A and B are shown apart, each in its own frame.
Chain A
Amino acid sequence: MAKLESKVPSGPLAEKWRKHKTEIKLVNPANKRKYEVIVVGAGLAGSSCAATLAELGYKVKNFVFHDSPRRAHSIAAQGGINAAKNYQNDGDSVHRLYYDTLKGGDYRAREANVHRLAEVSVNIIDQCAAQGVPFAREYGGLLANRSFGGAQVSRTFYARGQTGQQLLLGAYSALSRKVGDGGVQLHTNSEMLDLVLVDGQAKGIIVRDLITGAVTRHSADAVVLATGGYGNVFNLSTYARQSNATAIWRAYKRGACLANPCYTQIHPTCIPVSGDYQSKLTLMSESLRNDGRIWVPKRKEDRLKKPADIAEADRDYYLERIYPSFGNLCPRDVASRAAKRMCDEGRGVGESGLGVYLDFSDAINRLGEPAVRERYGNLFDIYHEITAESAYQTPMRIFPAVHYTMGGLWVDYNLMSNIPGLFVLGEANFSDHGANRLGASALMQGLADGYFVIPYTIGDYLAGQKPGSRPATDRPEFKQAEDNVTGMTKRFLENKGSQPVSHFHKRLGKIMWEHCGMARTKEGLEAALQKIPALKEEFNATVRVPGSADTLNQSLEQAGRVADFIELGELLCRDALTREESCGGHFREEHQWPDGECKRDDEKFGHVAAWEYQGEGKAPLRNTEPLNYEFTKMSVRSYK
């Protein structure tokens, strides 16, 4: 049974972080260079962490499976980043951002973590502006803001529709500076394939060089994982094709608890699927909901008509109808399920019937086309490239798609997992978004963790480690982990199978989407828990991985990742089945209010479920961490 101590400091909510920072242990400046930290991943969380730890004087090794740190998938975030700056004088505050984020997460996050996130949000904007991130500006030269789903203030900072790109390039520039001056040793094309524990503490990783195939051992005083989410377990998602769960899954198999895997976010505004060959779903930023109006025809028989031929009176602007106070800006989980209900009623548009309209004609009439182009031009261009339709002339067709995972490795207030010395940042951890993430909060969390949390909290752990005591890589623990990796590679390559890896990934995705997507049932999840182990068996017996181990071999890379996705998918369904309530992105049809909204069960499920690996073929253990709400009342979310 894992020990899950949240280590949330005592005291008033708004004082906790400040107090904690003054109480945790420090590492002597002259000793910092004696500690080596491995950082895996170079998205917002990884690169900001690597750069900042190096600035403090720690020796940092940064491992990235991409050919350059700038390619991490944070780059694709479009909409913006929240911060409680209150530059708009519209009543925003740290407390409001805290409250919105906690409520948006359907009261399934830790109060203290969320409050800290809101507190440091203001520092993030300062940091990024100083790095030269070209945020949108007003004519006076000050920073511009927009509002985003689930908030009633304008607190979102943005850089056109490419905010993630600009923030990542900012963090990448900070990282590059430290690579340039030797503070960070950068390992590109390097995929972490196992975690090494020495005396129960995380002290190293095993890495495969994706170009040469060389498998190497690396030791350190602490290991930081900032490797992103596991949404590609659904195969089709808005994630990058290479995004994977291998680092966190292999850490899970070494004893790190995986918390709330069933909290997955389905984003309401993505371009619908067009065919079976599809590899990727493209997001249309939520910012579009500021000016776009979502509708379907009132009558089923109108669904294949041209939108222009459907009279205003025959259109159902269903979000505005059902949620009058938030309208098109209601949170993602709410908007996604509403779209599903419309399509289930037979009113979905497009050939497949799996789509709703996102219409800009009102905005174009009100603001003029140039103003709409200025705000959303690049998104309209993307839409045009993919669909060959112009959203200036006809409404976009959109449909929900998997976009983010709130679950992840369990961490305490210091962002340390239950394995001492293993820290987890950004989307890879579970801590701040509860059961649903609000728009423009992912960038905030990634950078908060990397720039402003881990630089303090990692010192508390390292101060307890003797300088220069990191283990040598010829220890048996390293050999065992390396053998584990090379053994897996060998098994894949020697399998005389008949199906490509993609075949299994597609099938897993279909099982997950059908049984564990926007709406889940006991029967469906039980069916998935039959189908996934069968798929795993079939995968092991019939997957075909051509090529060799000592060269660039993309099939081999994919095989390892899909093997992990299959196992993770099973755990995800198990978590969804056990959580007999609906909350945020986890919707169990058995648990809903008469109007179709989530029905939580705070008494039975007001806790974090942290799964602990028990060995191959054994059922994992479900540990719980109670969520003690001391400062805010868990209430029923209403966006009406």
Chain B
Amino acid sequence: MVAETPSKKLFSVTLRIWRQAGPSAPGRFVDYPAKDVNPDMSFLELLDVVNDGITLKGDEPVAFAHDCREGICGTCSCTINGKPHGPGKGIATCQLYMRSFQDGDTIVVEPFRAKAFPIQKDLVTDRAAFDKIQQAGGFISVRTGAAPDANSIPVPKEDADLAMDAATCIGCGACVAACKNASAMLFVAAKVSHLGLMPQGQPERDKRVLAMVQTMDEAGFGNCTNQYECSAVCPKLISHDFIARMNRDYVAAIFKSRFKPASNAAAGGAG
């Protein structure tokens, strides 16, 4: 399966990587020179090669999160030269190729930094807060087997397409890492909008947005101050317009929950 090495010009870079032995250990930057870098190599493949070198020297390699390496699982999470997922638009760290860098570059590599994403080791952070938010309401309650025929619920194509734009979120957390407030609004807005745009999502629409926003606040994420850094670094280029949509849903849900008819009024007319 291995091809001849293509006749590409190889180059050298220095990786300046954040090393931290554990959640409460102090961290620091360590420089790792890398030679013979192929421009067609992915950034994570370079980390693999550097790690093998560290292992051969008898040291512990750099822990970093990664899995699918095709930009869809949302595991990889490096801040590279100050930008979550590094230079490039609409990509995850794993889709960054070394052709984006030049000979002699020093590349600064850090974990995603946010209070709600504690560092576990080196470049690996704990993003379980995202799961907690989903568990609070990021679903439509439909028991297996209870569904009606799929075509009995028509969805206008425009709505389905917009819902899909929001649903492409990979849950990586770059939006949080890019935000000066470490806000998770884009992540939450994407899920709230995806389900809120579908007819299937209407019965729980108010409950969902209230529960997810509350859980988000409790998890220690900051608020949104409309800087839009989140959209700028989102690997799926999810629009910050969804945040406005979520705010509208949230306000509507708050009003509706506060202005419930009194119970005797609700019962009136029966009989």
Interface residues of A (CB under 8 A from B): 48, 51-52, 55, 66-73, 75-76, 85, 87, 123, 125-132, 134-143, 159-160, 162, 165-166, 169, 172-174, 176-177, 179-180, 186, 188, 211, 234, 236, 240-242, 272-280, 282-283, 350-352, 354, 381-382, 385-386, 388, 401, 451-452, 455, 498-500, 502-503, 509-510, 513, 517, 544, 546-547, 551-552, 554-555
Supposing A382-B71, A500-B55 touch, asked if A275 and B1 sit within 8 A by C-beta, the answer is no
Contact sample, A vs B, 13 pairs, CB 8 Å cutoff? A127-B144, A130-B148, A131-B142, A132-B194, A134-B164, A136-B160, A137-B157, A179-B131, A211-B120, A241-B66, A455-B144, A500-B51, A554-B61
A-B contacts besides A129-B150, A130-B146, A130-B200, 9 pairs, CB < 8 Å: A51-B144, A71-B68, A132-B163, A179-B131, A277-B41, A283-B70, A385-B71, A451-B144, A502-B48
Q: Which residues of A contact B146 (CB under 8 A)?
A: 130
Quote the shortest CB–CB distance from B233 to chain A (angstroms). Answer: 16
Q: Does B90 contact A (CB under 8 A)?
A: yes
- 10 nearest CB pairs, A to B: A141-B154, A352-B3, A130-B147, A180-B135, A173-B139, A129-B150, A126-B147, A280-B69, A134-B164, A500-B55
Supposing A165-B168, A351-B4, A386-B97 touch, asked if A71 and B157 sit within 8 A by C-beta, the answer is no
B130-145 residues with Cβ-Cβ distance < 8 A to A are 130-131, 134-145
B6-65 residues with Cβ-Cβ distance < 8 A to A are 6-7, 21-22, 38, 40-42, 44-46, 48-49, 51-52, 55-56, 58-61, 63, 65
Q: Which residue on chain B has the smallest CB distance to residue A236?
A: B1
Taking a contact as CB atoms under 8 Å apart, the answer to whether B3 and A273 are in contact is yes
Taking a contact as CB atoms under 8 Å apart, the answer to whether A500 and B52 are in contact is yes
How many residues of B are in contact with the other chain, CB < 8 A?
87
- What CA separation (Å) do A38 and B186 show in the bound complex? 34
Q: Which residues of B contact A551 (CB under 8 A)?
A: 21-22, 121
Q: Does B251 contact A (CB under 8 A)?
A: no
Taking a contact as CB atoms under 8 Å apart, the answer to whether A66 and B52 are in contact is no
Taking a contact as CB atoms under 8 Å apart, the answer to whether A126 and B38 are in contact is no
Taking a contact as CB atoms under 8 Å apart, the answer to whether A125 and B150 are in contact is yes
Most A CB within 10 A of own CB, among B48, B138, B144: B144
Quote the shortest CB–CB distance from A331 to chain B (angstroms). Answer: 21
- What CA separation (Å) do A277 and B50 show in the bound complex? 11
Q: Which residues of A contact B127 (CB under 8 A)?
A: 67-68
Taking a contact as CB atoms under 8 Å apart, the answer to whether B157 and A552 are in contact is no
Q: Does B153 contact A (CB under 8 A)?
A: yes
Q: Which residue on chain A has the smallest CB distance to residue B6?
A: A351
Supposing A68-B171, A70-B171, A85-B150 touch, asked if A160 and B48 sit within 8 A by C-beta, the answer is no
- What CA separation (Å) do A69 and B171 show in the bound complex? 11
Taking a contact as CB atoms under 8 Å apart, the answer to whether B55 and A138 are in contact is no
Q: Which residue on chain A has the smallest CB distance to residue B141?
A: A177
Taking a contact as CB atoms under 8 Å apart, the answer to whether B3 and A172 are in contact is no
Taking a contact as CB atoms under 8 Å apart, the answer to whether A277 and B135 are in contact is no
Taking a contact as CB atoms under 8 Å apart, the answer to whether B144 and A55 are in contact is yes
Taking a contact as CB atoms under 8 Å apart, the answer to whether A279 and B69 are in contact is yes
Q: Does B93 contact A (CB under 8 A)?
A: no
- What CA separation (Å) do A241 and B48 show in the bound complex? 11
Of A126, A282, A351, A513, the contact of B70 (CB 8 Å cutoff): A282
Taking a contact as CB atoms under 8 Å apart, the answer to whether A174 and B139 are in contact is yes
Taking a contact as CB atoms under 8 Å apart, the answer to whether B135 and A176 are in contact is yes
Quote the shortest CB–CB distance from B173 to chain A (angstroms). Answer: 10
Taking a contact as CB atoms under 8 Å apart, the answer to whether B45 and A73 are in contact is no
Q: Which residue on chain A has the smallest CB distance to residue B200?
A: A132
Taking a contact as CB atoms under 8 Å apart, the answer to whether B67 and A241 are in contact is yes
Of B1, B73, B150, the contact of A126 (CB 8 Å cutoff): B150
- What CA separation (Å) do A176 and B72 show in the bound complex? 19
Q: Which residues of B contact A236 (CB under 8 A)?
A: 1
- What CA separation (Å) do A474 and B139 show in the bound complex? 38
Taking a contact as CB atoms under 8 Å apart, the answer to whether B144 and A279 are in contact is no
- What CA separation (Å) do A275 and B157 show in the bound complex? 43
Taking a contact as CB atoms under 8 Å apart, the answer to whether B167 and A71 are in contact is no
Q: Which residues of B contact A160 (CB under 8 A)?
A: 164, 168
- What CA separation (Å) do A143 and B156 show in the bound complex? 10
Q: Which residue on chain B has the smallest CB distance to residue A136?
A: B160
Taking a contact as CB atoms under 8 Å apart, the answer to whether B45 and A278 are in contact is yes
Taking a contact as CB atoms under 8 Å apart, the answer to whether A141 and B155 are in contact is yes
Q: Does B183 contact A (CB under 8 A)?
A: no
Taking a contact as CB atoms under 8 Å apart, the answer to whether A76 and B70 are in contact is yes
- What CA separation (Å) do A98 and B201 show in the bound complex? 33
Taking a contact as CB atoms under 8 Å apart, the answer to whether B72 and A75 are in contact is yes
Of B40, B71, B136, B200, the contact of A131 (CB 8 Å cutoff): B200
Q: Which residues of A contact B201 (CB under 8 A)?
A: 132
- What CA separation (Å) do A502 and B61 show in the bound complex? 12
